[in-house]
Amino acid sequence: MTLTTILAQQLVNGLVLGSFYALVALGYTMVFGVVKLLNFAHGDLYMVGAFTGLLALSAVAGTAGTSWVGVGLSILLAMIAVGFLGVVIERIAYAPMLKAPRLSILITALAVSLVLQNGVLTLSNGQVLAFSPRLGFAGINLGPVFINYKQIALAGTAAVLMIALEFFISRTQYGRAMRAVSVDRDMSELMGIDVNRVIAVTFFVGSALAGAAGTMAGAYYGSVWYFMGFIIGLKAFTAAVIGGIGSIPGAMLGGLVLGLLESFGTQIPGIGSEWKDVFSFSVLILVLVFKPTGLLGKSEQERM
């Protein structure tokens, strides 16, 4: 394989991987925008999405089959389920903690994450479960590169979701309300915006996106595991930070950038797949130290 082929293939891989990261990063950044909290449990929502998708697929297998339609339905069902789960978590665990010291909320989020992880661990007995939709391995050839249909579908679905989100944010009332709340919560309340509702909707949408990503990941990689949300949570956080935490286009951009960095990064001699995660975390640390506002974020001058 020539260098261009390798690079081109990595480009494709990077974009696909980046789509996952972007979808999960979006949820992170949206929630951070409205409640100024990094939802530590967000990665685990992705994991729950994967398991829910698996369940959904077995449920619809009879009627819709386990090919594209079946998977599509599973994604939809997982999105709805995880979306609701996100709202429930917000109501039970985060809403009561809003006035508490920062440290307490962070630990609460950690606790939620552990509950989700251990809950699924108990239910699945810690085993890696197979997620086998029948999507085949066919694809198309684009120049030197082979792109299979799964990858196209994945990137395509991610793109559709992101466009839908963009539309939601900029064109709908809820979207505008979300932006208002993330800029100034108290002022929004004075303007008559039902802040609690906006927060609930934000959690729903953000969690649904993570759920979608989880189901797609399960279908794409063929397996689900109770611990899969851990790393993705960190990567998504990295992506959100790269793009600028709080910025929605930033999360999308950050996700793609991280995906590409990882794909190309693993080609650097010395950094094999074992060191891939170390590579990504190093990127995170470097960004936080040198450009904490990320690519698209705004600098915050705190007022005293």
Partner 1 sequence: MALEPGSPGPQSVEARPSAWGGLLAILDTPQKRGIAIVLILAAMVIAPQAFGPYATVILTNALLYTILALGLNVVVGYAGLLDLGYAAFFAVGAYSVGILTTEFGWNFWATIPVAVIVAMIAGVIIGGPTLRLRSDYLAIVTLGFGEIVRIAARNLQITGAASGISGIEQPWLFGWHIARQVDFYYVFLVLAVIAVLTSVRLANSRLGRAWLYVRHDEDAAEAMGIDRVRVKLAAYIIGAIYGSIGGAFFAVNLTAISPQSFSFQQSTLFLMAVVLGGMGKIPGVILGAFVVVLGPELLRDLGSFRYLVFAIGLLLIMLFRPSGIWPAGGKR
Partner 2 sequence: MALLELNGVALGFAGNAVLQDVNFAVGERAIASLIGPNGAGKTSLFNCITGFYKPQRGSIAFDGAQMLALKPWQVTRAGIARTFQNVRLFRQMSVLENVMSGQHCRTSAGAIGAILRPPAQRREEQHIREVASACLRFVGIDPEEWGRDATTLAYGHQRRVEIARALATEPKLLLLDEPAAGLTKGEKAELVTLIGRIRDERDVAVLLIEHDTSLVMSISERVSVLDHGVMIAEGSPKQIQANPRVIEAYLGSEDAEAALAL
Residues that bind partner 2 (CB under 8 A): 301, 303-304
Q: Which residues pair with 141 in a beta bridge?
A: 146
Among residues 84, 260, 281, 293, the one that binds partner 1 under rule CB under 8 A: 281
Among residues 5, 69, 88, 119, the one that binds partner 1 under rule CB under 8 A: 119
**274 part of the interface to partner 1, by CB under 8 A:** yes
Among residues 59, 80, 97, 129, the one that binds partner 1 under rule CB under 8 A: 97
Q: Which amino acid is at 197?
A: R
- 145-148 and 223-224 strand pairing: unpaired
CA 293 to chain centre: 20
Q: Which does 291 bind (CB under 5 to 8 A by kind): partner 1, partner 2, none?
A: none
Q: What would the two tokens of residue 273 be?
A: 């797949």
Count the Cβ atoms, other than its own, within 10 Å of residue 187: 11
CB of 105 to partner 2, least distance (A): 17
Q: Which does 303 bind (CB under 5 to 8 A by kind): partner 1, partner 2, none?
A: partner 2
Cβ-contact 67, 34 below 8 angstroms:
no
Binding to partner 1 in span 141-200, by CB under 8 A: none
Taking alpha carbons only, the member of 24, 13, 83, 14 closest to residue 231 is 24
What is the length of the chain?
304
**288 part of the interface to partner 1, by CB under 8 A:** yes
How far is residue 294's CA from residue 282's CA, in Å, rounded to a whole number?
A: 15
**122 part of the interface to partner 1, by CB under 8 A:** yes
Taking alpha carbons only, the member of 51, 47, 72, 49 closest to residue 60 is 72
- Closer to partner 1 by Cβ: residue 94 or 220: 94
Distances from the Cα of 16 to the Cα of 34, 138, 189, 205, 269, angstroms: 28, 16, 40, 21, 22
CB of 107 to partner 1, least distance (A): 6
Cβ-contact 245, 152 below 8 angstroms:
no
Among residues 104, 132, 170, 196, the one that binds partner 1 under rule CB under 8 A: 104
CB of 249 to partner 2, least distance (A): 19
CB of 202 to partner 1, least distance (A): 17
Cβ-contact 199, 193 below 8 angstroms:
no
Q: Which does 186 bind (CB under 5 to 8 A by kind): partner 1, partner 2, none?
A: none
Among residues 140, 142, 160, 278, the one that binds partner 1 under rule CB under 8 A: 278
CB of 38 to partner 1, least distance (A): 4
Q: Which residues pair with 129 in a beta bridge?
A: 224
In the complex, which residues of this chain contact partner 1 (CB under 8 A)?
37-38, 40, 92-93, 96-97, 100, 102-104, 106-108, 110-112, 114-115, 117-119, 121-122, 125-126, 230, 234, 237, 241, 274-275, 277-278, 281-282, 284-285, 288-289, 292, 304
